[in-house]
Amino acid sequence: MNRTWKISLLILILIGCASCDISTKWFATQHLQNGPIIQVLPDVVELRYTENDAIAFSMLKSIALPTRNIIIYTTSTIAFIILSIITYQSRNESFLWLGSLMLILAGAIGNLIDRIMNGYVVDFIHLHYGNDVSWPIFNVADVTITIGALILAVLMFRKSSEKKNEISESVY
């Protein structure tokens, strides 16, 4: 793949995923905030508006708001900078490697924009099985971050396995 196409596709992934997150949060705010819960797949998937002023799984909720926001904004900024540096340093890696980083960055950007604009992140996708099993409510940014992290973990595992094979082959 030529370098220009690669960069263009990576930027498209970044902008497309961040835009999808922002637009679905807008939809959730407009149609779910004061409206009924929408059953997409009864007893499994529903759309339910929530505002998360903490982080994933409502962690840090027990910390008072001014301190919590300082922690959240500081760590988010540091994570964004580190992820940007890693992306730049990985610029010669495979498209899949860089694409997974773009997914993570897109989700981080979407949630950061939401937090800056509203002081919280809009979550609206709820997976559950009846009343017995319930996953915390999440959004599209969380999905892109998770998918990007999973792809990256698989690629890192493969790279680690390949290095182990190279080392063991060079010993014999």
| Catalytic-role residue among 21, 114, 132, 142 | 142
Query: What's the number of CA atoms in the CB half-sphere (13 Å) around residue 20?
Result: 15
Q: What would the 3-class secondary structure string for the chain be?
A: CCHHHHHHHHHHHHHHHHHHHHHHHHHHHHHCCCCCCEEEECCCEEEEEEEECCCHHHCCCCCCHHHHHHHHHHHHHHHHHHHHHHHHHCCCCCHHHHHHHHHHHHHHHHHHHHHHHHCCEEEEEEEEECCCEECCCECHHHHHHHHHHHHHHHHHHHHHHHHHHHHHHHHC
Of 21, 43, 53, 123, which residue is the catalytic one?
Answer: 123
**Does the annotation count 114 as an active-site position?**
no
In 3D space, the residue among 124, 82, 73 whose CA is nearest the CA of residue 104 turns out to be 82
User: Does the active-site annotation cover 142?
Assistant: yes
Task: Supply the residues annotated as catalytic.
Answer: 123, 142
